Amino acid sequence: MLYPLKFEPVYKDYLWGGNNLTKLNKKLIYPITAESWEISANKDGMSIVSNGNLAGNTLLDIFQRYPKKLCGKREVKQFPLLIKLLDACSALSVQVHPDDAYAYANENGALGKNEMWYVVDAKPDARLVYGLKKGVTEEQFVKAVRENNIGSTLNYVSVKKGDWINIPAGLVHAIGAGIIIIEIQQNSNTTYRVYDFDRVGADGKKRPLHIEKALDVINFDATEMQINEIVSVSGVDYLAYNKYFAVEYIASEGEYKSDTLNLSFHTYTVIEGGFEVEGVAVGLGESVLIPACMKKYTLKGGFRAVKSFVPDIK
């Protein structure tokens, strides 16, 4: 029988990171740490179970053995989500992600990458890139890239602790310096960079750009801002709700009850306090996966957390 699963963090030492994930009780192994992959069945950062009888197994192992018990009664070909913590000590590259159709055709059958961010902390002047300025055409964008003037085309937005941002595939975006976020995304590691501040990696070379593919997938007609928008469904307020993921902010001072309905696993990432579920303690900065087969469950404790699952949308 499956039970609430915790995992060893998978740390990434990308050059834009820092050491601010220690604020979330992370025991960092690199001088510079950009990401902690919390729940992942992706080959580029595979989660390993850290608790219970399944300790030492990868999330992919468990998915392949118990796909319906883990993910619910719907058919899924691969584990659908990837949950991360990000410490943007410096700004990330300006980038874009493909949708499912483009990724499948051009990235060896991979999933696309729709994602959303919850801002755990941010310095007072923090901002990020959310799309292009209104009216920017493909021709103007290409000219700006060629002339190293891409900043003139970008739409900058100020953010603060507690904000949330939905990033659909095709939207040009970048996390600015001084922001810690939880990222809920499709299980994909496909990113097309269009600008990277001429930075060099550990090998002394500039990181590659992917201009041609980026131009294939950028939605130049995207104008809707999906920032701090509540989506109400059946009396529940969500930070994001689409066919890829549903995300809630949960605050509880005693008991929080929920039910997977055997439709999807649930995940929680704790940003304040902690809780216990079926004898498993989950503290600040930790994440837990509740398998779909558990159905009804109770989180006991005072906590604040970001919850995600895959909703039943056709």
- Annotated active-site positions, please? 193
CA–CA distance, 227 with 240 (Å, rounded to integer) = 10
Burial of residue 204 (CB within 10 Å: 0-12, 13-18, 19+) is exposed
CA dihedral 173, 285, 84, 133 (to 10 degrees): -10
